[in-house]
Amino acid sequence: MSSLAQEESRSISENVTWGQRKRMADGKVSLPYKQFLGYEKGEDGLPQIVPAEAKIVRLIFRLYMEGKTFSAIAKHLECHNIPSPAGKKTWQTAVVQSILTNEKYKGHALLQKTFCADFLTKKMVKNEGQVQQYYVENSHPAIIEPDEFDAVQLEIERRKNLGRPTSSTSIFASRLICADCGGRFGKKVWGSYKGDKTYRKEVWQCNDKYKRLGNPGKGCQTPHITEEVIKERFLAAFNQLMHNRDELIEDCRLAQNVLCDTTAIDTELAELFREIEVVTELSRKAIYENARSAVDQKEWTERNNAYLERHHKASKQVDELEAIKRERLGKGKIIEGFIKDIESRPLAIAEFDEKLWLAVIDQVTVNQDGAMTFRFKNGSEVTA
């Protein structure tokens, strides 16, 4: 009876799994609505936006692009008494990160991220290629515009590559570079108290300015700068860049075609995938042969190890090429976003715009003479 019950459980599990995968293959999206911020189940069974919750999602994306970290955003939400997706007062950093990286907020859906590995224990594991995944575009209404969502993913990747914690207080954090030592500028507060008068001034200064390792008696010679100066110089640099906007856009398109082309990589990846297929089949046949007939084990082991080595080598090359491809596609998205932003702007701007700064600036190098070299996301550099 126990065996029959187990077989019945397995049969039910397989039927349920088949039904779920059939829905995924048909592009039908289902969400864990009770703990999914921003959406509820609509009358047609598909996700529909909850306006009040969608505001919170947009706030999270905006705060991240303004320079805040995952933990700082969690603290901000707690301070403003905004409940988490589970209805709790506290926000976990992982929850904020999950929201910022979930493609469903741009109206797309990657299905079968996890799957049930054991029908008895119901244990769910991360899908790393064991079963097929489905990516459905425009499957439901988007809360975040795709361009904005992609910009956040690129910013997450940029901060990862910095290799050090980023500030959560300013849009200028991690973008100002010292020409002397290559270190980053940080915000410093100067203040003094004299009687009833209080002096307080915020400046940006190289974090390593007074470190004398390897340079006794001297620190970096780059000066400190104020936010007003940064904004003023940025406006000057951006307006200078916009003098020949049409020519600039043409150069950007050319750069996209040359620097972001992945045709050769796709061809090489296809060859490597064929190599992996061939080696996998050869290894499978070798295992079958060893199981069905008597063969020299030393010879068989050497042959099988050679197959495994070929598979490992091809897989490593695939990982490397896919990383290069992602980098090129990311660069293409950055340049495309840059083009769209400058197309929507007047030829000359008079007021500093935080969104424009985040959209077009890659980094700014502060020189010893106080001049600032702005490197834009299309690769252009302008000194102001």
d(CA 26, CA 39): 21
Does 238 score more than 80 pLDDT?
yes
Tell me the C-alpha to C-alpha distance, in Å, between residue 121 and each of 9, 88, 132. Answer: 11, 29, 22
| Residue 373 pLDDT | 93
Q: What is the pLDDT of residues 189-209, one digit of tens each?
A: 887 666 556 677 888 888 887
Phi, psi at residue 205, to the nearest 5°? -145, 150
Q: What average pLDDT does the segment 324-335 reach?
A: 82
Q: What is the pLDDT of residues 30-81, one digit of tens each?
A: 677 788 888 888 887 778 888 999 999 999 998 887 778 888 899 989 999 9
| Interhelix angle 146-162/93-101, nearest 10 degrees | 130
| Residue 28 pLDDT | 64
Region of poorest pLDDT, from 276-285, 305-314, 350-359: 350-359
- On average, the pLDDT of the chain sits at 81
Q: What is the pLDDT of residues 84-104, one digit of tens each?
A: 888 888 999 999 999 998 888
| Residue 267 pLDDT | 92
| Residue 14 pLDDT | 63
Spatial neighbors of 125 by CB under 8 A, at least 6 apart, are: 114, 115, 117
Q: What average pLDDT does the segment 304-315 reach?
A: 89
Spatial neighbors of 225 by CB under 8 A, at least 6 apart, are: 176, 185, 203, 204, 205, 366, 370, 372
| Residue 122 pLDDT | 65
| Residue 339 pLDDT | 83
Does 3 score more than 90 pLDDT?
no
2-162: CATH, from 3.10.20.740, 3.90.1750.20, 2.60.290.11, 3.90.1150.10: 3.90.1750.20
User: Within 13 Å of residue 372, how many CA atoms lie on the same side as its CB?
Assistant: 25
CB 221 within 8 A of CB 183: no
Helix, strand, coil % in the chain, rounded to nearest 5: 50, 15, 35
d(CA 61, CA 152): 7
Does 213 score more than 60 pLDDT?
no
Confidence of residue 365 (pLDDT cuts 50, 70, 90): very high
Does 128 score more than 70 pLDDT?
no
Does 374 score more than 90 pLDDT?
yes
| Residue 20 pLDDT | 59
Closest CA to 210 of 200, 202, 220, 201: 220
Does 25 score more than 60 pLDDT?
no
Does 24 score more than 90 pLDDT?
no
